[in-house]
Amino acid sequence: MTDQTSINDFSLLCRLFGNLFYRTPTDPILEGTFEWLKQGNLRANWALNLDAQGENALNTLEKLASPAELAVSFNSLFAENGNVDTQLSSYGIDVQEFITFREQRGMPELTNADHVALLLLTASWIEDNLDSTEAQKDLFQRFLLPCASKFLGKVEAFDTSFYKALAQLTRDALSAMADELEESN
């Protein structure tokens, strides 16, 4: 993931994955997203090498991309009293520090910053709007990596299909980007 196309791919993945973890599948903002997944467009934009597990995860997302059916899974996982807590504060992240991080970089204000998926959306925003490897490293080290591994592990433990596959692909993308950031030293 070293050329400009790959970086844009990373931004796309973070935006996609962030929104899929943040919004109920029937949210109008996601209209068209599931058809896009069914048509294999995520696979077409996947810049990382795929192992058998990654291949299976992509197949799962393509096959199960049905908003009405996924709404039940989403609610059992992420809604109030769901199996997986989506609050940053539940994973040891100081929400005020995250808000300050965003403010210092001129990011749009959030109504409620205490949501794990906003870390992915913030990573996408940094890729698209700042020419700053340091900002991305800071986000990864202070917020994204410490929180994501715990959150994604819980998703994988409580879901056996779409969201488990989404968690696996998110983990792969974050790992590749973390490696790239480390190499940029």
DSSP character string of 62-114 = HHT--HHHHHHHHHHHHSTT-SS---GGGGT--HHHHHHHHHHTTPPP-S---
To the question of pTM greater than 0.85 for the whole model, the response is yes
Per domain, the residue ranges of the chain are 4-183
> What is the sign, positive or negative, of the torsion defined by CA atoms of 13, 17, 19, 22?
negative
Mean pLDDT, rounded, for 18-46: 94
Q: What is the pLDDT of residues 50-86, one digit of tens each?
A: 899 999 999 999 999 999 999 999 999 999 889 999 9
- In sequence order, what are the residues at sequence separation of 6 or more whose Cβ sits closer than 8 angstroms to the Cβ of residue 156? 164, 167, 168
Question: What is the per-residue burial (b if ≥16 Cβ within 10 Å, else e) of 104-124?
Answer: ebebeeeeebbbbbbbbbbbb
The predicted pLDDT at position 180 comes to 86
Q: Give the homologous superfamily in CATH for domain 4-183.
A: TorD-like (1.10.3480.10)
Residue whose tokens read 């994955």 = 17
Q: Using alpha carbons, select from 128, 122, 119 the residue that is nearest to residue 150.
A: 119
